[in-house]
Structure 1
Amino acid sequence: MSFTDRRQRFRAILAGTRCVHPGSVFDPISARIAEDLGFEVGMFAGSIASFTVLGAPDIVVLTLTEFADQIRRITRAGALPLLVDADHGYGNALNVMRTVQELEAAGVAAMTIEDTLLPRAYGDGRTQLLSIEEGLGKVRAALAARTDPALTIVARTSAVAVTGLDDAVERARAYTRAGADALFFTGIGTPEQLRAIRAETPLPIILGGTDGDLGGRDGMGALGVRVALQGHQPFMAAVKAVHDTLKALREGTAPKDLAGQPSGELMKHVTRDASYAEAIRSFMGGK
Structure 2
Amino acid sequence: MTSPRKTLRALIEARRGVLLPGAFNALSARVVEDLGFEALYITGAGVTNMSLGLPDQGFMGLSDIAEHTARIRDAVQLPLLVDADTGFGNALNVRHAVRVLERAGADCIQLEDQVAPKRCGHFNGKEVISTEEAVGKIKAAVDARLDPEMLIMARTDACATQGFEAAVERAQRFAEAGADLLFVEAVTSAEQIRALPQRLGTPQLINMVIGGKTPIVDAGELAGLGYGLVLYANAALQGALAGMQKALGTLREQGRLAEDPALVAPFAERQRLVGKPGWDELERRYR
Q: Which residue identity lines up with residue 173 of structure 2 in the other structure?
A: A
Q: How far apart are the structure 2 equivalents of 1:187 and 1:257?
A: 40
1:23 and 2:21 aligned: yes
> CA offsets per residue over residues 166-205 of structure 1, 9 Å max, x none?
1012112211111110101112244532454334432100
Alignment check: 8 A CA contact 1:186 1:209 kept: no
Cα distance in 1 for partners of 2:44, 2:59 equals 10
* Contact persistence 1:172–1:197 (CA under 8 A): no
User: Over the residues paired in the alignment, what is the CA RMSD in angstroms?
Assistant: 2.2
**Inter-partner Cα distance in structure 2 for 1:36 and 1:106:** 22
Shift, 1:267, TM fit: 1.7
State whether residues 168 and 197 of structure 1, in contact with CA within 8 Å, keep that contact through their aligned partners in structure 2.
Answer: no
Q: Which residue in the other structure is 1:239 paired with? A: 241
In 2, the alpha carbon distance for the partners of 1:20 and 1:200 equals: 20
- How is 1:182-221 mapped onto 2 (pairs within 5 angstroms)? 182-209=181-208, 211-212=214-215, 214=217, 216-221=218-223
The equivalent residue for 1:283 is 286
Match of 2:276 in 1: 273
Contact 1:191/1:213 (8 A) holds in 2: no
2:135 aligned residue: 136
User: May I ask how many residue pairs the two structures share in their alignment?
Assistant: 278
Alpha-carbon distance, 1:154 to partner: 0.5
Write the deviation string for residues 17-50 of structure 1: whole angstroms up to 9, x where unpaired: 3111112211111111111111011112111110
Corresponding residue of 2:7 = 9
Matched with 2:71 is 73
Cα distance in 2 for residues equivalent to 1:25 and 1:265: 22
Q: Secondary structure at the match of 1:126?
A: coil
| 2:65 counterpart letter in structure 1 | F
Counterpart AA for 1:277: D
**TM-score of the pair, normalised by structure 1:** 0.88
1:57 CA displacement:
1.1
Partner of 1:147: 146
The residue identity in structure 2 corresponding to 1:266 is: E
* 1:92 alignment counterpart: 90
Q: 1:120 to 1:179 in 2, by over 3 A?
A: closer
- Cα displacement (A) at 1:251: 5.1
For 2:53 and 2:273, how far apart are their aligned partners in 1?
24
**Unaligned 5+ residue runs, structure 2?**
none
Distance (whole Å) between structure 1 residues aligned to residue 221 and residue 142 of structure 2: 30
- Residues 50-129 of structure 1 aligned to structure 2 (within 5 Å): 50-119=48-117, 126-129=125-128
How much has 1:133 moved relative to structure 2?
A: 0.1
Change over 3 Å in CA distance of 1:76–1:98 after alignment to 2: same
Larger Rg: 1
Deviation at 1:159, TM superposition (A): 1.8
Which residue does 1:181 correspond to in 2? 180
Task: Output the CA distance in 2 between the equivalents of 1:263 and 1:257.
Answer: 6
Q: Which moved more, 1:249-258 or 1:13-22?
A: 249-258
1:257–1:77 CA distance, 2 compared to 1 (3 A)? closer
With 143-152 and 229-238 compared, the bigger mean Cα shift is at 229-238
Query: Identity of counterpart residues, as a percentage?
Result: 34
Match of 1:43 in 2: 41
Shift of 1:100: 0.6
Distance in 1 of aligned mates of 2:239 and 2:154: 30
For residues 246 and 171 of structure 2, the distance between their equivalents in structure 1, rounded to whole angstroms, comes to 44
